[in-house]
């Protein structure tokens, strides 16, 4: 491979990885924008999402790389798995909010955030027990087809990941920008009391935000599994912290910021691994987290936290 082909290859890889981080970062940002809450349970919702997808794909008779599907059956199986995963993860997020966070809504201070850490650990340990801490081989029904463009290899898998991620992000943007509920969500994020005075049911809006964010985390979990061909109880931790960094880097509370941040972090990870060393990637990423918090707390696109007046 030539130097420039290696560089472009890492860009391709970085964008795929970044798509996972971006999807995951959106959930942090949606919830933070509305409740000013950093939701660490989100890490585990992502991980559970990967396992839900794994179970659904196995239910279709897919084990490891043994079965390869093509055409309509492939699309159908992936679509069903994606929808089931998103609904299940969304429901998990809604339950976490309803039963562990809503009772703390009016408690000041870091209690709610600490609760999310607790919930995250419970899910983490439940999956750890259920899987004996093993990495599980993730079904991969996709043909190994790939395209060579100017020395760069783009796998069919990656193209699918890009299409699905882009569709989800465009969908979320349209939802937030155009729909009645999406507008109510923005209104609550900007001024919850005023929104309530307009007749918005704030609890309902919070629930929708958790559903949407968690469903996207589930989708990210499934994509992660397909991309790396495994799922394990611990995947939420690394991916979650990187996605959280992405949300902060983009400007927490800011939806386009989370997408931008995700892609940037994905690129830093792959390029950093290529040109410096894999073990340095996390050092760079968390230096960015700290650097952003210290020098530019509003992130690249500006923090969109609620107005407190």
Partner 1 sequence: MRDDAPLLEFDAVNTHYGDLHVLKGVDYTMSSTDIIVLLGGNASGKSTTMKTIMGTVTPTAGEVRYRGDVINRLSTAGRVKRGIAPVLEARRLFPRMTVFENLEMGAYTQKRGAEFEADLERVYELFPRVKERRGQLAGTLSGGEQQMVAIGRALMARPRLICMDEPSMGLSPRFVEVVFGIIQTINRQGVAIFMVEQNANMALQIADRGYVLQTGRVVLAGPAAELAANPAIREAYLGELHVEA
User: Binding partner 1 by CB under 8 A: which of 71, 109, 150, 180?
Assistant: 180
The two tokens of residue 279 are 């073990």
Establish if 1 lies at the interface with partner 1 (CB under 8 A): no
165: Cβ–Cβ under 8 A, 6 or more apart, which residues? 19, 20, 22, 23, 219, 223
Question: How many angstroms separate the CA atoms of 229 and 37, rounded?
Answer: 32
Establish if 195 lies at the interface with partner 1 (CB under 8 A): yes
Q: How many residues bind partner 1 (CB under 8 A)?
A: 19
Smallest Cα–Cα separation from 228: which of 126, 139, 122, 101? Answer: 139
Establish if 264 lies at the interface with partner 1 (CB under 8 A): no
Establish if 107 lies at the interface with partner 1 (CB under 8 A): no
Establish if 108 lies at the interface with partner 1 (CB under 8 A): no
Establish if 9 lies at the interface with partner 1 (CB under 8 A): no
User: Binding partner 1 by CB under 8 A: which of 200, 205, 212, 285?
Assistant: 200
Binding range to partner 1, per CB under 8 A, among 167-175, 199-207, 231-239, 266-274 = 199-207
Establish if 109 lies at the interface with partner 1 (CB under 8 A): no
Binding range to partner 1, per CB under 8 A, among 13-21, 37-45, 124-132, 184-192 = 184-192
Establish if 198 lies at the interface with partner 1 (CB under 8 A): yes
Q: How far is the CB of 63 from partner 1 (least distance, A)?
A: 49
Q: How far is the CB of 199 from partner 1 (least distance, A)?
A: 4
Establish if 106 lies at the interface with partner 1 (CB under 8 A): no
Q: How far is the CB of 296 from partner 1 (least distance, A)?
A: 19
Smallest Cα–Cα separation from 253: which of 67, 33, 81? Answer: 33
Establish if 194 lies at the interface with partner 1 (CB under 8 A): yes
Establish if 102 lies at the interface with partner 1 (CB under 8 A): no
Q: How far is the CB of 183 from partner 1 (least distance, A)?
A: 6
Instruction: Find the binding residues for partner 1 in span 36-65 (CB under 8 A).
Output: none
Q: Which is nearer to partner 1, 59 or 194 (CB)?
A: 194
What are all long-range contacts of 78-84, with beta carbons under 8 Å and residues at least 24 apart? 78/141, 78/160, 80/56, 81/53, 81/56, 81/57, 81/222, 82/53, 82/164, 82/219, 82/222, 84/52, 84/53, 84/56
Question: How many angstroms separate the CA atoms of 173 and 179, rounded?
Answer: 10
Q: Which is nearer to partner 1, 70 or 204 (CB)?
A: 204
∠ CA 175-180-181, nearest 5°, is 65
Establish if 294 lies at the interface with partner 1 (CB under 8 A): no
**Bridge partners, 146 (sequence order):** 155
Q: How far is the CB of 217 from partner 1 (least distance, A)?
A: 25
Binding site residues, partner 1, CB under 8 A: 180, 183-184, 186-187, 190-191, 193-201, 304, 307, 309
């Amino acid at each position: 491979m030539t130097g420039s082909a290696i560089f472009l290859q890492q860009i391709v890889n970085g964008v795929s990885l970044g798509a996972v981080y971006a999807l995951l970062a959106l959930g942090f940002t949606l919830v933070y924008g509305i409740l000013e809450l950093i939701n660490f349970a989100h890490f585990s919702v992502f991980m559970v999402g990967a396992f839900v997808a794994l179970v659904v794909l196995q239910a279709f008779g897919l084990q490891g790389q043994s079965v390869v599907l093509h055409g309509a059956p492939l699309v159908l199986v992936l679509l069903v798995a994606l929808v089931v995963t998103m609904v299940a993860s969304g429901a998990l997020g809604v339950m976490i909010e309803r039963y562990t966070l809503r009772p703390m809504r009016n408690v000041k201070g870091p209690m709610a955030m600490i609760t999310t850490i607790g919930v995250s650990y419970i899910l983490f340990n439940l999956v750890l027990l259920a899987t004996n801490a093993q990495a599980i081989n993730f079904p991969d029904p996709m043909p190994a087809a790939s395209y060579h463009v100017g020395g760069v290899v783009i796998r069919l898998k990656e193209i699918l990941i890009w299409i699905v991620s882009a569709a989800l992000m465009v969908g979320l943007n349209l939802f937030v920008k155009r729909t009645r509920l999406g507008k109510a969500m923005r209104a609550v994020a900007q001024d919850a009391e005023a929104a309530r005075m307009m007749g918005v049911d704030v609890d309902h809006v919070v629930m929708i935000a958790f559903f949407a964010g968690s469903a996207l985390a589930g989708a990210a979990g499934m994509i992660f599994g397909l991309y790396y061909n495994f799922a394990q109880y611990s995947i939420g931790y690394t991916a979650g912290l990187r996605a959280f960094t992405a949300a902060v880097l983009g400007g927490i509370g800011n939806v386009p910021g989370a997408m931008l941040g995700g892609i940037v972090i994905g690129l830093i990870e792959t390029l950093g691994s290529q040109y410096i060393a894999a073990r340095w990637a996390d050092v760079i990423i968390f230096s960015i987290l700290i650097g952003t918090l210290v020098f530019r707390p509003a992130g690249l696109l500006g923090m969109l936290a609620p107005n407190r007046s």
